[in-house]
Amino acid sequence: MGTIQQEQEEPLILSTTDQSRHFHRQQQEPEETNLISKIWVETKKQWLVAGPSIFSRLAMFSMTVITQAFAGHLGDLNLAAISIATTVIIAITFGFLRFLQSQLKTAVIAWVSAIALAVHVLVSWAFVYKLRVGIVGTAITLDISWWLSVLGLFLYAVCGGCPLSWNGFSSQAFVGLWDFFKLSLASGVMLLLENFYYRILIIVSGYLHNTEIAIDALSICISIFGWESMIPLGFLAATGVRVANELGAGNAKGVKFATIVSVITSLAVGFFFWSIIMGFHEKLAMIFTSSSPVITMVNKFSTLLAFTVLLNCIQPVLSGVAVGSGWQAVVAFVNIGSYYIVGVPLGIFLGLLQFGITGIWAGMICGTVVQTLTLTIITMKCKWEIEAQKAQMHISNDTASYL
């Protein structure tokens, strides 16, 4: 009981004196127990942020997936139409604005998202199967659900849910707004480039023969990929928080350890979903459609989808390290180079060699590999002790200027 209570009272950031005492206490424990305990404590800290973040992201993204599923069972043309809207057009704005989610309490967002999702399912069912509105009904319900979530979060903030950060409208809202905008813009561009990358497949498929089936199959694959990627993106948020906290505490070893634990956890999740896709590849598309040609084509792309999911479990964590360290602009340039200078041209080249969509997709996976390797090298080569000193200097300067 004493050990459990001690772990529960452990703060996220230790002061210098507490860190010294904690270090000496650790030296007296067996090495294996010490490592297991450290992994357990770090995992709990990350899931405190990642858990609500994952749930809220999954709930919000599930609204577009459910919309696609209702449209898909109405017909192939309906699925193609709604897929272009949800996986391409909405994805652009969703990817750019996603970073704003970290500014609010993730637990609150999770509850609001869950309520909006439940309403979305009920209203979609009523519009499609009771009122017989068709694809227009699915689009209307998606709009209603999104605005419901926005209204819920707004009311929570202005009606007393954030007493320590919201005191009403005032000129203080504009203090430091330019610095916030620059940092947010870099984060938004970084996430936008990642979010839009594989949506290029949907655009390219529109110029192929049998366009309707190709768009349907690829949109289903991208939706499944996007659905799963909400989990690594939750670890992006958690890693960013943990890295920022450890840097602020001057704990360079803590940054490295948090990164390793997050990468291993996210990779384990990736292997889990890789095995699901490989094991149920013939039935993946049945959630979205009952069309045999579409189901067959999704089955054809299932191997590429599985490895895309697996490879995209590492780089969000490394992007989280960048967010926590303030490297968003660097990662944005890495994304441009690896995705749009390497991945897309290589994919087009392979596509022109009579490999079609398979070649384009394989080339884009190579772009993801280049991005992951680049971010890995940057992270491993970083002198975290120096970064920790810089972070503490920034904190001291900001505190002095505020006083």
Give the tens place of pLDDT for each residue, 357-393: 888 899 889 998 999 999 999 988 888 888 888 777 7
Average pLDDT over the chain, rounded to an integer: 77
Q: Phi and psi at residue 350, in whole multiples of 5°? A: -65, -35
Least confident piece of the model among 94-98, 123-127, 212-216: 94-98
CB 134 within 8 A of CB 79: no
Candidates 72, 338, 74, 55; CA nearest to 193 is 338
Helix axes 76-83, 135-156, angle to 10 degrees: 30
- Identify the band that residue 213 occupies on the pLDDT scale cut at 50, 70 and 90: confident
For residue 84, give Cα distances in angstroms to 74, 79, 240, 297, 366. 16, 9, 32, 18, 25
Percent share of the chain, pLDDT over 90: 12
Measured between alpha carbons, how far is 325 from 375 in angstroms, rounded to an integer? 13
The mean pLDDT value for 210-235 works out to 84
Residues constituting the chain: 403
The confidence score (pLDDT) of residue 303 equals: 92
Candidates 343, 51, 377, 78; CA nearest to 196 is 343
The mean pLDDT value for 194-210 works out to 73
CA angle 3, 8, 14 (to 5 degrees): 100
Q: What is the pLDDT of residues 345-359, one digit of tens each?
A: 898 888 888 788 888
Q: What is the pLDDT of residues 39-98, one digit of tens each?
A: 899 999 999 888 888 888 888 888 888 888 888 877 777 787 777 777 766 666 655 555
The mean pLDDT value for 11-33 works out to 44
The mean pLDDT value for 207-233 works out to 82
Q: Is the pLDDT of residue 23 over 60?
A: no
Q: Is the pLDDT of residue 6 over 70?
A: no
**In 20-50, which positions are buried (b, 16+ CB within 10 angstroms) versus exposed (e)?**
eeeeeeeeeeeeeeeeeeeeeebeebbbbbb
Q: What is the pLDDT of residues 47-63, one digit of tens each?
A: 988 888 888 888 888 88
Q: Is the pLDDT of residue 183 over 50?
A: yes
What is the reported pTM? 0.77
Q: What is the pLDDT of residues 300-330, one digit of tens each?
A: 999 999 999 998 888 888 888 888 887 877 8
- Check residue 74 and report its DSSP letter: T
Measured between alpha carbons, how far is 293 from 195 in angstroms, rounded to an integer? 27
Q: Reduce the DSSP state of residue 313 to 3 states and report it.
A: coil
Measured between alpha carbons, how far is 85 from 329 in angstroms, rounded to an integer? 29
The confidence score (pLDDT) of residue 374 equals: 92
Q: How many CA atoms lie within 13 A of 59 on its CB side?
A: 24
- Identify the band that residue 403 occupies on the pLDDT scale cut at 50, 70 and 90: low
Measured between alpha carbons, how far is 68 from 212 in angstroms, rounded to an integer? 14
Structure token digits, residue 270:
């990736």
Percent share of the chain, pLDDT over 70: 78
Higher pLDDT, 32 or 281: 281
- Identify the band that residue 261 occupies on the pLDDT scale cut at 50, 70 and 90: very high
Q: Is the pLDDT of residue 191 over 80?
A: no
Measured between alpha carbons, how far is 259 from 384 in angstroms, rounded to an integer? 12
Candidates 297, 296, 305; CA nearest to 278 is 305
Q: Is the pLDDT of residue 400 over 60?
A: no
- Identify the band that residue 102 occupies on the pLDDT scale cut at 50, 70 and 90: very low
The confidence score (pLDDT) of residue 31 equals: 46
Q: Is the pLDDT of residue 402 over 70?
A: no
Measured between alpha carbons, how far is 225 from 233 in angstroms, rounded to an integer? 12
Whether the CA torsion 389, 391, 393, 396 is positive or negative: it is negative
